[in-house]
Amino acid sequence: MKNFIKNFSILAFVLLAMAAGVEAAGSIAGFVAGSVAYAGLQYAGVVELPFGAAYVNLKIGNVKRQNRQLDNQGGFTKMAIILPESFATHWPLSSHLGASGVEVTTPPTITVGEKFGNVVFDLDAGMLKSSRKGDIDSSNHSHEGSFSVSGVTVEQLTELEKTKGGCLLVGWDSDGRRWLAGSTKRPLSLEYDVDFGDKPDSKRKITAKFKRDGFKFPLLSLGEAVTLTLETLTELD
């Protein structure tokens, strides 16, 4: 009954505005007055819309391709890995993103002494990507990627075994920009194959794959102001 009275009142208000518009300046003015009255009710919050007034400032800009005269090389040159347990506070949160919503502008608060470990993968053997999917009212992003490291050593396995509780990865692309996969709230699940091959000319290697769904954002760019603490590479570069 309450809803009926509310809807009836809204209809009556709009019809009255239309009638007043027709009376004052003709039929077209009637439609204009009705539209203005309805928009006023929306703005006042009487008529509900998803996200309400957020639509007022939501405008899309140009989505441009890369200039053909510029390099557009893919792939990653290196990656760094860290466990969610190494963070003192959750990262990244919405408040750590810049106005764009896809760039992290606040560095992580890592427990004193903890660092990102380098993943020195084989040539052209590191990949990161994200995909947006789902319905319009429940879309989300998945983060995924892979890398392979040659040789099977106890040191490699020791480090990878520490990721049972999930991990976060940062990849450096061909332009040196850094992209974050995973978050402390939704760490990536990492699976890996240990492959010794079947004959002497087979390559021994560990191939790791990592993935997680349900992120609010794609791979996040780490802004220039974000400084990362890394383990030192003593032998490999």
- 3 state SS of 24: helix
Helix (H, G, I), strand (E, B) or coil at 164: helix
ω into 218 cis (within 30 of 0): no
- Rounded CA-CA distance 34/23 in Å is 13
Least Cβ distance, residue 111 to another protein (angstroms): 8
Between 99 and 112, whose beta carbon lies closer to another protein?
112
Helix (H, G, I), strand (E, B) or coil at 30: helix
Kindly indicate which of the ranges 1-9, 136-144, 172-180, 199-207 contains the residues binding another protein, using the contact rule CB under 8 A: 172-180
CB closer to another protein out of 18 and 169? 169
Q: How near is the Cβ of 227 to another protein at its closest, in Å?
A: 5
Is the Cβ of residue 103 or residue 144 nearer to another protein in the bound state?
103
What is the distance between the alpha carbons of residues 183 and 106, in angstroms, rounded to a whole number? 14
Site size for another protein (CB under 8 A): 26
Nearer to another protein, 178 or 212 (CB): 178
The least distance separating another protein from the CB of residue 152, rounded to whole angstroms, comes to: 26
Question: Segment 77-116, which members bind another protein (CB under 8 A)?
Answer: 80, 88, 107-113, 115
Task: Name which position in 62, 227, 235, 236 contacts another protein (CB under 8 A).
Answer: 227
Phi, psi dihedrals of residue 36, rounded to the nearest 5°: -65, -40
- What does 31-98 look like in DSSP terms, one character per residue? HHHHHHHHHHHHHHTSS--TTGGGGGG------PPPPTTS----SEEEEEEE-GGGBSS--S-GGGB-
Question: What residues are paired with 180 via a beta bridge?
Answer: 170, 220
Q: How far apart are CA 146 and CA 138, in angstroms?
A: 27
> From the CB of 233, what's the least distance to another protein, in Å?
7
Which lies closer to another protein via its Cβ, residue 57 or residue 66?
66
User: Which listed residue (6, 177, 203, 204) binds another protein by CB under 8 A?
Assistant: 177
- Closest approach of another protein to the CB of residue 204, in Å: 28
Chain positions 184 to 223 lying near another protein, rule: CB under 8 A, are: 222-223
Q: Which residues bind another protein (CB under 8 A)?
A: 80, 88, 107-113, 115, 175-178, 222-233
